């Protein structure tokens, strides 16, 4: 009797333990290939290990090395510079474009176009960019005389990687912002208009504040991506010239798989994870404080 009643209560709450078994394969895969590696990094960080030979335990040597590794700290600086250029541009473009195309006849076509670079073969994209923008014989320098000297100048190389990243990712930002825009009830905007607000005022005072959570979400995602991603760097500049585009993720790759210092690579992985967690924590706190401020008004 009681078992039956319990079953009914559970059914009423919508909880179906028998369905839980269906999560098993995915859960197993997540634990084995994400959680276990994530924890194992702690151990590998205490190794001196080339990847092919047997690892040798060296205690905290790798972690201490982090502190006096100038290349690591300068690559952190590069990453911060990258994020400080790329993130504001990404957010501004996402917002401006999502607002500009709202309700246009071309809205769908524009979204389809902007989303495309993120989906097409990234190696192919890198080739297209190389042939178009190479300072020595690229099509754009040949035809227009406009040259971005990304093969020789550090600032230009960083800008080049930023531009490629924006080219690839802005479509995501526009889609996410546009989805949030559509979630704003029409009545809210109409009410503001009835109160005498002009179109640009409605935008500035009503629409954009309501998009704040979405923009913060994009900021957090964007920060995490900037801290960890390095595919663009690998494809375009391989960290050069003079290490000017060697972001953290790329430094990690280089150390572990070009200099075959996998133990130290594990230590760098920990460093990157710690920084990601720290930044995500700070941003989440800002988010929470803002939420509290909104709730109190």
Restricting to residues 10-69, name those near other proteins by CB under 8 A.
13-16, 18-27, 29-30, 32-34, 36-38, 40-41, 44, 51
Report the half-sphere exposure of 104 (CA within 13 A, side-chain side).
13
Q: Alpha helices, DSSP H only, in 61-106?
A: 61-67, 70-101
Query: Minimum Å distance from CB 120 to other proteins?
Result: 5
State CA 77 to chain mean position distance: 17
Nearer to other proteins, 32 or 195 (CB): 32
Nearer to other proteins, 18 or 194 (CB): 18
Nearer to other proteins, 112 or 282 (CB): 112
Quick one: DSSP state of residue 54? P
Query: Minimum Å distance from CB 9 to other proteins?
Result: 12
Contact between 135 and other proteins by CB under 8 A: the answer reads no
Distance CA 256, CA 42 (A): 15
Binding residues with other proteins: total (CB under 8 A): 92
Contact between 84 and other proteins by CB under 8 A: the answer reads no
For residue 56, the cross-strand partners are: 48
User: Is 56 in a helix, a strand, or coil?
Assistant: strand
Contact between 7 and other proteins by CB under 8 A: the answer reads no
State CA 256 to chain mean position distance: 22
Asked whether 151 and 242 are in contact (CB, 8 A), the reply is no
Q: Is the peptide bond before 241 cis (omega within 30 degrees of 0)?
A: yes
Contact between 281 and other proteins by CB under 8 A: the answer reads no
Query: Minimum Å distance from CB 1 to other proteins?
Result: 22
Site for other proteins in 93-132 (CB under 8 A): 93, 96-97, 99-101, 108, 110-132
- List C-alpha distances in Å: 270 to 79, 180, 196, 279, 281: 16, 35, 54, 14, 16
Query: Minimum Å distance from CB 71 to other proteins?
Result: 17
Structure token pair of residue 32: 């084995």
Nearer to other proteins, 170 or 244 (CB): 170
Site string for other proteins, 222-251 (x = CB under 8 A): --x---xxxx--xx-------------x--
Quick one: DSSP state of residue 207? I
Nearer to other proteins, 78 or 229 (CB): 229
The DSSP element (H or E) to which 57 belongs, if any, is strand 56-57
Site for other proteins in 184-213 (CB under 8 A): none
């Amino acid at each position: 009797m009681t078992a039956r009643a319990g079953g009914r209560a559970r059914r009423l709450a919508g909880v179906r333990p028998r369905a839980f078994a269906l999560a098993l394969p995915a859960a197993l895969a997540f634990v084995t290939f994400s959680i276990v590696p994530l924890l194992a990094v702690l151990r590998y960080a205490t190794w001196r290990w080339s990847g092919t030979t047997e690892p040798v335990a060296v205690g905290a040597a790798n972690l201490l090395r982090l502190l006096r590794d100038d290349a690591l700290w300068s690559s952190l600086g590069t990453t911060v510079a990258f994020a400080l250029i790329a993130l504001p541009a990404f957010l501004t473009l996402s917002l401006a474009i999502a607002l500009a195309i709202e309700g246009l006849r071309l809205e769908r076509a524009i979204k389809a176009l902007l989303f495309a670079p993120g989906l097409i073969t990234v190696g192919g994209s890198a080739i297209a960019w190389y042939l178009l923008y190479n300072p020595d014989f690229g099509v754009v320098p040949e035809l227009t005389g406009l040259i971005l000297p990304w093969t020789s100048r550090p600032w230009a190389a960083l800008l080049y990687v930023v531009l490629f990243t924006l080219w690839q990712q802005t479509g995501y930002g526009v889609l996410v912002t546009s989805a949030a825009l559509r979630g704003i009830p029409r009545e809210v905007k109409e009410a503001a208009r009835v109160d005498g607000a002009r179109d640009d005022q409605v935008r500035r005072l009503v629409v954009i504040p309501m998009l704040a959570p979405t923009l913060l979400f994009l900021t957090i995602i964007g920060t995490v991506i900037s801290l960890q991603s390095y595919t663009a760097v690998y494809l375009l500049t391989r960290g050069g010239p003079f290490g000017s585009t060697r972001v953290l993720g790329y430094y990690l790759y280089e150390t572990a798989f070009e200099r075959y210092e996998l133990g130290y690579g594990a230590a760098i992985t920990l460093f990157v994870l710690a920084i990601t967690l720290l930044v995500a924590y700070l941003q989440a706190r800002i988010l929470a404080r803002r939420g509290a401020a909104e709730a109190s008004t």
